[in-house]
Chain A
C-alpha cells in the first residue's frame, strides 16, 4: 500500500531563515508526489507536484521540493520564510488507478517574526 510520512508535527523557523518540511514516501513503482497547504478553516491549496524529470520542483509562493529516490523523500523547502507561510502543510502520494491522494498527517509550520 502506498503511504507518506511526515515525521514532524511542527516546524518553527524565524522569518527570513530557510525552512524545510520533511516527507518520506512508500510506493511501488514511480511515485506521483504532491504538497498542499491549508490555512485555518480553509480547504487545501496545491503547492507543487513531482511526476517525473528534474528532481527539484518549483511551486507556488516561492516553495520548492526536492525528490530523492534513494532516500524516498520529498522535502518541501523555501529559501526565506515569511510569517504568512505559517499554516498546515500536507504531503501526499497519488494512487495511479484512482487518482486519489493519500495524505500524510501534516506538519504545522510556524514562522516567527
Chain B
C-alpha cells in the first residue's frame, strides 16, 4: 500500500501520560499536514511541514504538543501530559507542491482516548 499510513490507529491513555503518533506520507510528497478532528466536527488544522521544515503552527497547538519531521520523510506528533480534552482523531495528510492544485491525501487517522 503506497498511501499515507498512521500508527497507532488507536491509543488509550491515562491523563497526564505522554503519547506519540507517527505518520508515513506518500513517498514522493514533500508536504505533510496534521489535523485534529473531534466528534461531530470537521478536521482542524494543527501544523504542516515542507520537507523537514515546520512552516506553520495553529494556535490550537499548545505547548504540550510538538511535531517533528526530522529527515523530511515520516513525522511524529507528541502530546505531553495528556488531558481529557485531547481526546480526538489525529489525521495526517500529505501532498506534493509541484501539483499545486492537487488534493491532500489522508491517512486513516490515530484515535486518542484520554481517560
Contact = CB atoms under 8 A, between A and B. Distances in A.
Contacts of B104: 46, 99, 101
Interface residues of B, number: 27
Contacts of A99: 31, 48, 95, 97, 100, 104
Contact of B42 (A34, A43, A104): A104
Contact of B45 (A36, A46, A51, A100): A100
Contacts of B33: 100-101
Nearest to A48: B103
Contacts, number: 57
A105 B108 contact: no
Contacts of B106: 36, 43-45
A49 to B, nearest CB: 6
Contacts of B93: 44, 101
A43 B103 contact: no
A21 to B, nearest CB: 13
Contacts of A102: 45
Contact of B107 (A43, A46, A90): A43
B48 A98 contact: yes
A105 B42 contact: yes
A interface bracket (residues with beta carbon within 8 Å of B) = 20 to 34
A41 interface: yes
A44 B33 CA distance: 13
Contacts of A105: 40-42
Interface string A94-113: 00101111111110000000
Interface of A: 32, 34, 36, 41-46, 49, 51, 90, 96, 98-106
Interface of B: 4, 6, 31, 33, 40-45, 48, 55-56, 91, 93, 95, 97, 100-101, 103-109, 111
Given A42-B109, A44-B106, 17 more contacts: A34-B103, A41-B109, A42-B108, A43-B108, A49-B103, A51-B101, A98-B48, A98-B56, A99-B95, A99-B100, A100-B45, A101-B33, A101-B45, A102-B45, A103-B44, A105-B42, A106-B41
